[in-house]
Amino acid sequence: MILATIIANCIVLALEQHLPEDDKTPMSKRLEKTEAYFIGIFCLEAGIKIVALGFVFHKGSYLRNGWNVMDFIVVLSGILATAGAVMKIPVDLRTLRAVRVLRPLKLVSGIPSLQIVLKSIMKAMVPLLQIGLLLFFAILMFAIIGLEFYSGKLHKTCMRNSSSSESDSEDVKTDFPCGSRDCPLNYNCTGNWIGPNDGITQFDNILFALLTVFQCITMEGWTTVLYNTNDALGSTWNWLYFIPLIIIGSFFVLNLVLGVLSGEFAKERERVENRRAFMKLRRQQQIERELNGYRAWIDRAVLKRATIKRSRLDVIRRGPGEDQYADISSVGIPLARASIRSAKRGPTAYLRRKERMLRISIRRMVKTHSFYWTVLGLVALNTLCVAIVHHNQPQWLSNFLYYAEFLFLGLFLTEMFLKMYGLGPRLYFHSSFNCFDCGVIVGSIFEVLWGFFRPGMSFGISVLRALRLLRIFKITKYWASLRNLVVSLMNSMKSIISLLFLLFLFIVVFALLGMQLFGGKFTFEDNTPTNFDTFPAAIMTVFQILTGEDWNEVMYNGIRSQGGVKSGMWSSIYFIVLTLFGNYTLLNVFLAIAVDNLANAQELTKDEEEEEEAFNQKHALQKAKEVGPMSSLMSSE
């Protein structure tokens, strides 16, 4: 019930739409009225837990659990925000309402697999904090150097002369620094400009310098900062600052995060393997104890049965008149054999035997390598025919592709019937590849029939035949290293799926937080598509920031929306935290899992090679031992 309430509350938060000047749509006003009901349910949950567990003072109490602390903060902030809205207290309640976005994280406390992944990430937090401290000192060092070199140097730009003609009164200033760069005609280099990006990227004080250096080490827009300093001071020595900044900060320090995460996952995998080996040893010992007990019980039972047999020898011995019905029962045996022979000689049995032989031969054929590679070649040709379709193609190509579509469909249909007949329906549909093939072929037949009755309409189902190229993964049966890699990836799919869900929750939380902070604020003349007005737009904006693409431009718009450099610099914290934890922590966990799986696959391949080499050596020694006596015997003869 609580999980359903959390999901419903997340849907309500996502349906809100933020308009400029804090205006609200009628739907948003109706959705706000549901807040009191959700607060009541969460208060009831917290109250029941406090009564059952206690509040804080003893071990195992409510506030001794981190998830319960988060729940308590969310509930308390919701109560304060609702009470403030009802009492009409003249206080900005956006901060308290922003805490509501943590409610999706309550899902983590109800899903055990998510807790395991999150605990693994939290275990890596201690070394990650050390890397973060190293990163901070590197940024601080370069920020102080930039403060010494570039403080106040980025406020000169080319302004139009006041004596120029009135017809040239447009574009009175440029958007780049000057000093080393010459200004155009009728422009002068003056020093009353706010700076690049509305004064956000500058080195006038340590805070601006820290933000600018952090932007540079993320390698997003760092060349623009370099060229701005070149325009202001010249390009002779600036590279001595920016190139070491990128090499040390971006190439080295930030990539240490991946090293730490992969190391922690390797340690966790080693702990799991050791525990698995220990449990296997305990299970073997338990089985051995049980087998010893069974053997003792069997020995006692055998001895007891032997004594019983010896005591009943006179009963077991049979007299000559005991099998008086043996002759009568043996009369029917020749008759039964004769009926079986006559049945075998019938025409139905002959046809059945031929059909069985045909099915066996077809089964052998569809399991051969030549049949497999022939079908794979047909799939590749079909994919090529689908791929060469283009705009304004000649008519002969359209006709060729039209008839080729029927040809390939007939060939794949024949393949499906051969496999289904040779293997039988049960074995055929046991393979997931065969199920996918059957679905694609049936869908293609439906598409052809639909196109026949409704010309010009297509569902594009035939394109799915290209996915049949995934059959090539069957080659892993003969390629040991690739098989081990696929097996390692399949074994980690549970962790990857849990991590994907955790990443989705992270995106949802930051999208909802962005809606609370910047919803309806991105009203600029360029009509930027990145905004936080609606939930889908916020999700897309957060995902763009996670990929690192133009995240600095979104941050500039966020600072502008809150009043610019004078009153909106606090909003940069949102984008810095999102970039650090999303891009450089959560996304690097995927890389850490991939690196760990690659190392595990290499270990499996190495172990298999060692086992194969040991087997070959043992086999060679056995042959040598067999050949030795034979050679000595021949020499003696």
Q: What is the DSSP string of 184-237?
A: -TTEEEES----HHHHTS--SSHHHHHHHHHHHHTTSSHHHHHHHHHHHH-SSS
Question: In Å, how far are 33, 313, 439, 560, 609 from 436, measured between CA atoms?
Answer: 48, 67, 5, 52, 34
Instruction: Please give the CATH superfamily to which domain 344-478 belongs.
Output: Voltage-gated potassium channels. Chain C (1.20.120.350)
Pairing mode of beta strands 187-190, 173-177: unpaired
Average pLDDT over residues 248-266: 81
Query: Distance between CA atoms of 538 and 535, rounded to whole angstroms?
Result: 5
pLDDT value for 137: 93
Phi/psi of residue 497, each to 5°? -65, -40
Task: Give the model confidence (pLDDT) of 349-366 as tens digits.
Answer: 888 888 888 888 998 998
Structure tokens belonging to residue 491: 């074994």
**Confidence check: pLDDT of 319 > 60:** no
Q: DSSP assignment, residue 183?
A: P
Name residues whose C-beta falls within 8 Å of residue 81's C-beta, 6 or more positions apart in sequence.
93, 96, 97, 99, 100
Phi/psi of residue 568, each to 5°? -115, 10
Domain residue spans of the chain: 2-110, 136-254, 344-478, 491-625
**Confidence check: pLDDT of 540 > 90:** yes
pLDDT value for 480: 65
Average pLDDT over residues 230-256: 89
Average pLDDT over residues 548-557: 91
* Domain covering 491-625, topology: Helix Hairpins (1.10.287)
pLDDT value for 465: 58
Binding site listing for Ca(2+): 220, 549
Question: In Å, how far are 333, 340, 341, 353, 355 from 346, measured between CA atoms?
Answer: 20, 10, 9, 11, 15
pLDDT value for 167: 45
pLDDT value for 316: 53
Q: Collapsing DSSP states into helix, strand and coil, what is residue 158?
A: strand
Structure tokens belonging to residue 356: 């069985």
Query: Distance between CA atoms of 589 and 260, rounded to whole angstroms?
Result: 10
Matching fold, domains 2-110 and 491-625: no
pLDDT value for 326: 46
Q: Collapsing DSSP states into helix, strand and coil, what is residue 389?
A: coil
Task: Give the model confidence (pLDDT) of 56-72 as tens digits.
Answer: 777 878 888 777 787 78
Query: Distance between CA atoms of 36 and 520, rounded to whole angstroms?
Result: 24
Average pLDDT over residues 246-264: 84
| Cα–Cα nearest to 227, from 212, 215, 211, 239 | 239
Query: Distance between CA atoms of 302 and 600, rounded to whole angstroms?
Result: 50
Please check whether residue 80 is in contact with residue 461, taking contact to mean a CB–CB distance below 8 angstroms: no
Question: In Å, how far are 264, 318, 444, 453, 492 from 450, measured between CA atoms?
Answer: 55, 80, 10, 5, 42
Structure tokens belonging to residue 258: 């991946």
Query: Distance between CA atoms of 589 and 510, rounded to whole angstroms?
Result: 19
The overall average pLDDT reported for the chain is: 78
Binding site listing: 220, 549
Please check whether residue 508 is in contact with residue 541, taking contact to mean a CB–CB distance below 8 angstroms: no
Structure tokens belonging to residue 359: 């099915």
| Cα–Cα nearest to 268, from 115, 113, 117 | 117
157 forms bridges with which residues in the sheet? Answer: 177, 190
For the chain, give the number of residues: 637
| Cα–Cα nearest to 43, from 86, 80, 94, 84 | 80
Burial of 78 (0-12, 13-18, 19+ CB in 10 A): buried
Query: Distance between CA atoms of 71 and 77, rounded to whole angstroms?
Result: 10
Task: Give the model confidence (pLDDT) of 363-381 as tens digits.
Answer: 899 888 888 888 888 888 8
The pTM assigned to this predicted structure is: 0.72
Q: How confident is the model at residue 226 (pLDDT cuts 50, 70, 90)?
A: very high
**Confidence check: pLDDT of 578 > 90:** yes
**Confidence check: pLDDT of 174 > 60:** yes
Query: Distance between CA atoms of 271 and 495, rounded to whole angstroms?
Result: 16
Q: Which residue has the tokens 């069985």?
A: 356
Query: Distance between CA atoms of 530 and 550, rounded to whole angstroms?
Result: 10
Tell me which of 203-212, 268-277, 279-288, 437-446 is least confident. 268-277
Query: Residue by residue, what is the 3-state secondary structure of 128-150?
Result: HHHHHHHHHHHHHHHHHHHHHHH
Tell me which of 180-194, 251-265, 444-458, 615-629 is least confident. 615-629
In terms of phi and psi (left: phi > 0; alpha: psi -120 to 50; beta: otherwise), the region of 548 is left
Q: What is the CATH number of domain 2-110?
A: 1.20.120.350
pLDDT value for 241: 93
Structure tokens belonging to residue 164: 């120029």
Q: Which helix (H) or strand (E) holds 175?
A: strand 173-177
